[in-house]
Amino acid sequence: MQRRPLAPWLLAVALVAASACTGVPEATPTATPEGQAVRPAATPTPSPTPTPLAAEPAPPFELAADPVHVLDTDNAPILSTEPRGVDETAAEQAAQDATAVLEAFLNAQYTDPATWFSEAPLAALLTDGAQQALGDEERRGLGVLDLDVQRVEPGPASVDPMVTMHGSTPRHVTLTFHAALVGVLTSGAEIAITQAGHAVFVPDGHGWRAQAVDVTLEREEEP
């Protein structure tokens, strides 16, 4: 435990019939000998329609909330009173709980084919107020992207938690995090994505939720 000071687009290919007014005389049909059966031309076998490949689930991200940094807001030193002390067990539990929410978000947003790159995972990450404040740019920063993904390979991920404590009560958990992955699109192209930044979690009626998020999302696509 470490302490820190305050700080088909339907390509419309039209099959155009040859004009009857080209000036080329019509071919004379070949006479069929009487009594000879005419065999119809063989009907070509249509090519099978390729079956789209199903999206593949990916291994999950795993975040470890260790070490946990604690910021004590007790003003006893200022008031020259007896310090109340910090409940380190409560601080560690708060850090683990907030980290579990962030980990679940990263896996829902980037490794689960049912929800990846959609808005669905945001509800479990953000407070109601934070969700209402999101614009299109903020949604893209949180991974809401228009991508046709076939599979994803998670890369390294890390988290550095700081818990703001007031005596035995955790008030905020700030998670500084980083997560990287490589996705393969259905076109065969690869896209590298890195998300990093800070999320400030507060306890609400749903457990710990992020009240403020400051993140960047970098993406690099290769053919």
Q: What is the pLDDT of residue 172?
A: 97
- Alpha-helix residue ranges (DSSP H) falling in 86-148: 88-110, 122-125, 128-132, 136-141
Q: What is the pLDDT of residue 52?
A: 52
Residues, the chain: 223
190-204 and 207-222 strand pairing: antiparallel
Cβ count near 83 (within 10 Å): 11
121-175: pLDDT as tens digits: 999 999 999 999 999 999 999 999 999 999 999 999 999 999 999 888 999 999 9
188-197: pLDDT as tens digits: 999 999 999 9
Domains delineated in the chain: 53-222 (3.10.450)
Q: What is the pLDDT of residue 222?
A: 86
What are the average pLDDT values for consecutive 10-residue runs of the chain, which has 223 residues?
42 31 46 55 56 76 96 72 80 98 98 96 97 94 96 97 93 98 95 98 94 96 83
Name 217's bridge partners: 195
Q: What is the pLDDT of residue 54?
A: 74
Q: What is the pLDDT of residue 38?
A: 53
Both structure tokens of 193: 């994505």
Q: What is the pLDDT of residue 180?
A: 98
Both structure tokens of 140: 């893209």
- Give the distance from CA 106 to its chain's centroid: 7
Residues 108 and 187: their CA atoms lie apart, in Å, by 23
Cβ count near 126 (within 10 Å): 24
